[in-house]
Structure 1
Amino acid sequence: MEHGLPDDNTVKTALALAVRAPSVHNVQPWRWRIGSRSIHLYLDPERALPSTDPDQRELVLSCGAALHHLCVALAALGWSAVVHRLPNPADPNHLAAVELLRHRSTPLDIALSAAISRRQTDRRHYSSWPIPHGYLGLVTERAAALGAIVTQAGNRPREVLIEAMRTAAALHAGDVEYRFELANWSGRHSSDDGVPARSTPRVESHDGLPAREFAAPALADGALEPDYAELLVISTSADDRLSRLRAGEAMSAVLLTATNIGLATCLLTEPLELADLRNRVRLEVLDGVAQPQAVLRIGWLPTSAPSLPVTPRRSVEDVLSPLESAAPSCS
Structure 2
Amino acid sequence: MQSIAEQLIPFAVRAPSGHNTQPWQFSVNQDSIRIFPDLSRRLPVVDPDDHALFISLGCALENLIVAAAHQGLAASVESFPADEPEACLRVRLSEGADDNTDALFRAIPERQTNRGTYNGQAIDASDLTAMLEANGCESVELRPLRVGDPEIEPIIDFVRQATIAQFNDPAFVAELVSWIRFSQREVSARQDGLAAAALGFPAVPRWLGRWIMTRLVKPEGEADRQEKAIRQSSLLMLFIAREHDKRHWVDVGRSFERVVLTATSLGIAHAHVNMPCEVEPIRRRLAAHLGLNAGAQPLLLIRLGYAKQRRPASPRRPADQVMR
TM-score by length of 2: 0.85
Give secondary structure in 2 for the equivalent of 1:143. Answer: coil
The 3 A distance-change label for structure 1 pair 81 and 104 is closer
Structure 2 residue runs without a partner (length 5+): 202-220
Corresponding residue for 1:69?
Answer: 63
Please point out which of 82, 91, 97 is paired with 1:98. 91
Corresponding residue for 2:14?
Answer: 20
Give the residue type in structure 1 aligned to 2:314: T
Structure 1: distance between partners of 2:163 and 2:82: 37
> 162-171 vs 19-28, which deviates more?
162-171
Give secondary structure in 1 for the equivalent of 2:74. Answer: strand
Structure 1: distance between partners of 2:34 and 2:60: 12
Give secondary structure in 1 for the equivalent of 2:225. Answer: coil
Corresponding residue for 1:291?
Answer: 297
**Higher percent of residues as helix:** 2
Structure 2: distance between partners of 1:208 and 1:173: 12
The 3 A distance-change label for structure 1 pair 13 and 90 is closer
The 3 A distance-change label for structure 1 pair 104 and 171 is closer
Q: Residue 90 of structure 1: CA displacement?
A: 7.4
> 139-148 vs 15-24, which deviates more?
139-148
Corresponding residue for 1:31?
Answer: 25
The 3 A distance-change label for structure 1 pair 31 and 210 is farther
Give secondary structure in 2 for the equivalent of 1:182. Answer: helix
Preserved CA contact (<8 Å) 2:47 2:278 = yes
Structure 1: distance between partners of 2:284 and 2:33: 36
Give the residue type in structure 1 aligned to 2:195: P
Q: Residue 164 of structure 1: CA displacement?
A: 1.6
Aligned residues: 296
TM-score by length of 1: 0.83
Please point out which of 93, 100, 116 is paired with 1:124. 116
Corresponding residue for 2:312?
Answer: 309
Preserved CA contact (<8 Å) 1:281 1:292 = yes
**1:136 has 2:128 as partner:** yes
The 3 A distance-change label for structure 1 pair 287 and 157 is farther
RMSD value over aligned CA atoms? 2.2
Structure 2: distance between partners of 1:36 and 1:205: 49
Corresponding residue for 1:257?
Answer: 262
Structure 2: distance between partners of 1:37 and 1:13: 12
- 1:193-232 equivalences under 5 Å are 193-201=192-200, 206-207=224-225, 209=227, 227-232=232-237
The 3 A distance-change label for structure 1 pair 210 and 271 is farther
Preserved CA contact (<8 Å) 2:160 2:226 = no
The 3 A distance-change label for structure 1 pair 200 and 320 is same
Structure 1: distance between partners of 2:223 and 2:93: 50
> 138-147 vs 254-263, which deviates more?
138-147
Give the residue type in structure 2 aligned to 1:317: D
Q: Residue 226 of structure 1: CA displacement?
A: 5.2
The 3 A distance-change label for structure 1 pair 240 and 99 is same
Preserved CA contact (<8 Å) 2:160 2:224 = no
Corresponding residue for 1:167?
Answer: 161
Structure 1: distance between partners of 2:60 and 2:69: 14
**1:147 has 2:147 as partner:** no
Preserved CA contact (<8 Å) 2:74 2:93 = yes
Q: Residue 144 of structure 1: CA displacement?
A: 4.2
Give secondary structure in 2 for the equivalent of 1:292. Answer: strand
Give secondary structure in 2 for the equivalent of 1:41. Answer: strand
Give secondary structure in 2 for the equivalent of 1:118. Answer: coil
Structure 2: distance between partners of 1:287 and 1:54: 25
> 141-150 vs 189-198, which deviates more?
141-150
Structure 1: distance between partners of 2:195 and 2:226: 24
Deviations 1:57-101 (A, max 9, x none): 11010110000000001110121110011113776x623100001
Q: Residue 288 of structure 1: CA displacement?
A: 1.7
Give the residue type in structure 2 aligned to 1:160: P
Give secondary structure in 2 for the equivalent of 1:235. Answer: strand
Structure 1 residue runs without a partner (length 5+): 1-6, 212-224, 322-331
Structure 2: distance between partners of 1:262 and 1:170: 32
> 129-138 vs 20-29, which deviates more?
129-138
Preserved CA contact (<8 Å) 1:125 1:226 = no
Deviations 1:141-166 (A, max 9, x none): 22144632110125344222211221
- Counting aligned pairs with the same residue, the percent is 29
The 3 A distance-change label for structure 1 pair 21 and 42 is same
